[in-house]
Amino acid sequence: MKTLVCFGDSITQGSIGDAYVRHIAMQLPHVNVINAGVDGDTTYNLFERLDTAVLCHNPAVVMVMVGLNDFGTAYGERLSRVYYRRVKKVPITIDIPAFETLYDGIIHRLLRAGITIVLCTPTTLGEIPDTAGQFILDGYVRVVKDLALRHDLTLIDVRAAFVQAMRSDPRAGPEYHLWRVPIDAWRVSRGTPYDQISLQRGFNLLVDGVHLNGNGASLVARTVLPTLQQLLPMES
């Protein structure tokens, strides 16, 4: 059985909201699907844990989706920036040039290991297109696309799928704030599902302005599955 590692941050981990990796695993029963997402991770954190989270599994394919937290170290609210520095131990502000350097380092290490790499563009910040934050995030998205082209890697434009969905149904839910995450977790522990929290806030794809609800996780899975099924076909 071949192994697929999904490598990323909380969007991949899926403990906040819904997990797209769960949807993928259900559609790829012949593949050992490993969820290597960690809440709050940036490209700096991914690079630091490549050996223990990815290379130790000897995967056939690694799918990488990261960038929202990198954005947060540079453009997030003060509480978020303190969180990345003190809790996640990220010693630098990961602006777009730093994001490119760190991401390129991850790619080089995976290539040296002979692993097939799939790059995914990050999702969204909120569900209103054409905001200042979305414009800045698109700079990080362009880096992912440029790296895929430079290294001749498979690219899945998850961001484009989300933009299309947002343009057809824009939702002006509340802005994301880090302090909402533990409050939402407490509500879930008391019996309120994440999808209900999302509905109460008026979102279609997100729970809190960043993390995916069931619709958002399903959209990621539908977007990436055709490529993964080609790379990891069921053996006869």
Structure tokens at 118: 């799939």
The pLDDT mean for the chain works out to: 97
Report the alpha-carbon distance of residue 185 to residue 180 in Å, rounded: 9
Averaged pLDDT, 138-155 = 98
β-sheet with 3-8: strand ranges across: 32-37, 3-8, 61-65, 116-120, 154-156
Distance CA 87, CA 39 (A): 11
Rounded distance between C-alpha atoms, residue 144 and residue 99, angstroms: 9
For residue 234, name the pLDDT band (cuts at 50, 70, 90): confident
What are the tens digits of pLDDT across the range 88-135? 999 999 999 999 999 999 999 999 999 999 999 999 999 999 999 999
At residue 125, the pLDDT reads 97
CA 125 vs CA 49, 132, 135, 149: distances in Å:
26, 10, 10, 25
Question: What pLDDT is stored for residue 174 in this prediction?
Answer: 94
% of the chain surpassing 90 pLDDT: 99
Task: DSSP for 121-145, please give it.
Answer: ----SSB-TT-HHHHHHHHHHHHHH
- Helix/strand/coil for 186: helix
Phi (first) and psi of residue 207, to 5 degrees:
-90, -45
pTM value is: 0.95
Residue 229: per-residue pLDDT: 97
The confidence score (pLDDT) of residue 236 equals: 60
| Phi and psi, residue 213, nearest 5° | -90, -170
Contact status, residue 88 vs residue 45, Cβ threshold 8 Å: yes
d(CA 229, CA 188): 33
Q: What is the pLDDT of residues 14-46, one digit of tens each?
A: 999 999 999 999 999 999 999 999 999 999 999
Per-residue pLDDT tens digits for 165-205: 999 999 999 999 999 999 999 999 999 999 999 999 999 99
- Cα–Cα distance for residue pair 30/80, rounded to 1 Å: 39
| Token pair listed for 112 | 């040296």
Domains of the chain, first to last: 3-169+211-231 (3.40.50.1110)
Tell me if 69 sits within 8 A of 98, measured CB to CB: no
CB-CB contact of 94 with 43 (8 Å): yes
